[in-house]
Structure 1
Amino acid sequence: MNTTTPYRVTSIDVLRGLVMVIMALDHTRDFFHRTAMTADPLDPSTTSTMLYFTRWITHFCAPTFVFLSGVSAFLAAQRRTRQDAAYFLIKRGLWLVLVEVTLITLGLTFNPSFNFIILQVIWAIGWSMVILGLLSWWSRKAVLIAGILLFFGHNVVDYMKLPAEGPAAVMWQILLTTRGAVVPLDATHLLGIFYAILPWTGIMLLGYSIGSWFIRDFPAAKRKQRLVMAGVTLVALFVLLRWINLYGNPVPRKIYPDLWSNMLSFFDTSKYPPSLQYAAMTLGPALLALAAFENLQQKWSGVLTVYGRVPFFYYVLHFYLLHALLVIVFFATGHSAAQIAQVPFWFRPAEFGYALPLVYLIWIGVVAALYRPCRWFDRYRAAHRQWWLSYL
């Protein structure tokens, strides 16, 4: 058994808390912004600067969270044998898939009949944990090699002719290529596949592979130096690939006649599925932030740490709180019961919503309301040792 003692690194909790807070902004926009269901906020020809930024800044959340999940998986594995750690990852991954299909889908849709099942980031994290468990059972070298191949090489499929229909097409979408596929399960139930698994798996595997930088005995100065080097390298890779415009994104960058639209287009990389350009654009600054947050001791960082220590609890709770607020606003604005059933989100008509300033106020209120519950759960988990807490 590996006896290297894991410990909590402040920078991980602060950065994870920061991305959880920013993530809630995007979901608040989904529920409450007037054009969230009818327009692309990243389209230079129709968006505004503030709307573009509101959507674009949230691109950093999912890859950073998935990457840090890999780091955390490595640190947690130090308390177990290799086989026990791998087995736990497999079990927790399958449990997360179940949670996505049930608890998260219900929070998103408020549809008790589950007519629209949504597969998003928790689904991708769950299957990535299963794959990580299997590879780490074999060896850490296998994790690193697979991570490098998936992270840098998955966009090769952009140049392949893949099946356009049938089970093979669905499988390719699930694993690598989906940009938001809706698959009928029967006459009344749909499956929304929004996160391709393997590109996210590559991000998690690389997070696991640098987990040794965060053990207690690893020099902080050396860790910071490596994070800065890796972060700068990824940012440079993003700029290079985006400029060349040949590899690393499912579709080439669009060229516009004016400078401002071209700049917006330059940073509009593919999240669905997450391209190499997208991952480099987001994880480069994330690694630099990890280096900058090393030994950070500020009042605001302590607040972010509360959210960062209980990310799954926060994630589930914020969906239910946002949707409960939506129900209140739905009826308060004169909508009737006959208008409840909307696909995919109940109580969310397409022609509904408010301007961005009000969306920001709702977001701040929701994040503030979740602070005390998150602090309570963090303290509860620290004081108790029930087996099920390790799954949260």
Structure 2
Amino acid sequence: MNRITTIDVTRGLVMVIMALDHVRDLLHTPALTQNPTDLATTTPAIFLTRWITHLCAPTFVFLSGVSAYLSLRKRNSPAARRFLLKRGLVLIVLELTVINFAFWFDIQFRSLMLQVIFAIGGGLMMLSLLARLPVRWVAGIGFGIVLLHNLLPFAPFANPVGSFVWSLLFRTNVFVVSPELTVLVGYPLIPWLGIMLLGFAAGRLFEQPATSRRPLLWQLGLGALGLFLALRFLNLYGDPAPWSVQKNGLLTVLSFLNVSKYPPSLLYTAVTIGLALLILAAADGASNALTRLLTVYGQVPMFYYLIHWYLVHLSMLAMSFAQGYTWADVPSGPLNFGRPEGAGISLGGVYGVWLALVAVLYPLCRWYGRYKAAHPELTWLRYL
């Protein structure tokens, strides 16, 4: 039970943090024009608000691998692997339909953004094949991907189809298919698969007693952070964006921390998974009001993800109308969230909306978690 609770608490924490990033994306005044990690234009508060949310996607993907291992540990059968395949396919369909509509509120679907659910779905489909291999082989493939994928060239294909396939597998890119359709490959499959495979191999830790598991989680987490610090200090390999001395000490520290997510570099993976492992270690066996609250969110991740995007987007529209804008002011078109020019709130307001949204989600997640537990005969709930 503690193993499941530990995973749910960690997942719940990063889900709560994730909502902050999406509220900032859609409601913060400069979010549509300012890169929050561009040290030439950002502020420390905006940078750190964005940076802490880097923890979310790799933790989701890593824990998806852990959960896949735990689901197969007693019955690594063709039927169990087929479920991983089907679940992955369902996630990709949800990404292309329900989730993309939540992003854009565009019934014409002129924008398709392939994000973390696409990466998890594709990863589960590939894992359904790789799960036949010994766990140490899966771990080796995962380490190989994480260590080496940054060596691949950005776009080796001049042919548009080849370039698109390459991007789906390896590199973030934007494709303007027509004036009415733009596809953004935000989470290419292979780099994120590497993180999922590491999670699958780490699933073995959760078969051990807590007394031996917890020290291992601490050691692995500190080891990953030590690797990040060593390689980042050397500034030779591990991230395509080297750090540099800035005009003051704080900005220099931020430059040191400013690792690349698209696609996830070795150093990005090391620092985020290192922190995730430390959170798992700290949560292992803990039971208090905070862990019980986070467990409510962590037990229903897909439900939370779907509902929170709709609430964030509706909050953006409510903010715009409250500031005097009308439907005529709402822009449309590819890669447009529909926020009127000039609409927005301060960073403090973003934090206020975020906390309110998380509070609203709590009773919804608690209801759905209880409903799902009370109806095991509804097998379709396993996909949500």
TM-score normalised by length of structure 1: 0.93
Which residue of the partner structure matches residue 288 of structure 2?
298
Aligned-residue offset at 1:80: 3.2
Task: Map Cα deviations across residues 314-349 of structure 1 (whole Å, 9 max, x no partner).
Answer: 000000111112222222222232232334234313
Amino acid paired to 1:225: P
Once structures 1 and 2 are overlaid, which stretch shifts more, 267-276 or 319-328?
A: 319-328
Q: May I ask how many residue pairs the two structures share in their alignment?
A: 382
Aligned-residue offset at 1:101: 0.6
Determine if the alignment matches structure 1 residue 361 to structure 2 residue 355.
no
Once structures 1 and 2 are overlaid, which stretch shifts more, 311-320 or 149-158?
A: 149-158
Aligned-residue offset at 1:79: 4.9
Structure 1 segments, 4+ long, off by >4 Å, are none
Which residue of the partner structure matches residue 49 of structure 1?
44
Ranges in structure 1 where 5+ consecutive residues have no aligned partner: 1-5
1:260 is aligned, of 250, 267, 288, to 250
Aligned-residue offset at 1:165: 5.6
Which residue of the partner structure matches residue 162 of structure 1?
156
Task: Map Cα deviations across residues 61-91 of structure 1 (whole Å, 9 max, x no partner).
Answer: 1111111111111111235343222111111
SS at match of 2:131: helix
Once structures 1 and 2 are overlaid, which stretch shifts more, 131-140 or 21-30?
A: 131-140
2:69 is aligned, of 74, 84, 106, to 74
Task: Map Cα deviations across residues 260-286 of structure 1 (whole Å, 9 max, x no partner).
Answer: 221111000001111010010111111
1:379 is aligned, of 347, 351, 370, to 370
Identity level (%): 43
SS at match of 2:293: helix
**2-structure distance, mates of 1:311, 1:143:** 25
Which residue of the partner structure matches residue 206 of structure 1?
198
Task: Map Cα deviations across residues 231-288 of structure 1 (whole Å, 9 max, x no partner).
Answer: 1111011011111112111232344243222111100000111101001011111101
Which residue of the partner structure matches residue 141 of structure 2?
146
SS at match of 1:210: helix
Determine if the alignment matches structure 1 residue 132 to structure 2 residue 127.
yes
TM-score normalised by length of structure 2: 0.95
Amino acid paired to 2:199: G
Give the direction of change, closer, same or farther, for the CA distance of 1:302–1:15 in structure 2 (3 Å limit). same
Amino acid paired to 1:388: W
CA RMSD of aligned residues (A): 1.7
Q: How does 1:10-89 map to 2 (within 5 A)?
A: 10-89=5-84
Q: How does 1:331-350 map to 2 (within 5 A)?
A: 331-342=321-332, 343-350=334-341
Determine if the alignment matches structure 1 residue 273 to structure 2 residue 263.
yes
Amino acid paired to 2:151: V
Give the direction of change, closer, same or farther, for the CA distance of 1:165–1:252 in structure 2 (3 Å limit). farther
**2-structure distance, mates of 1:376, 1:51:** 34
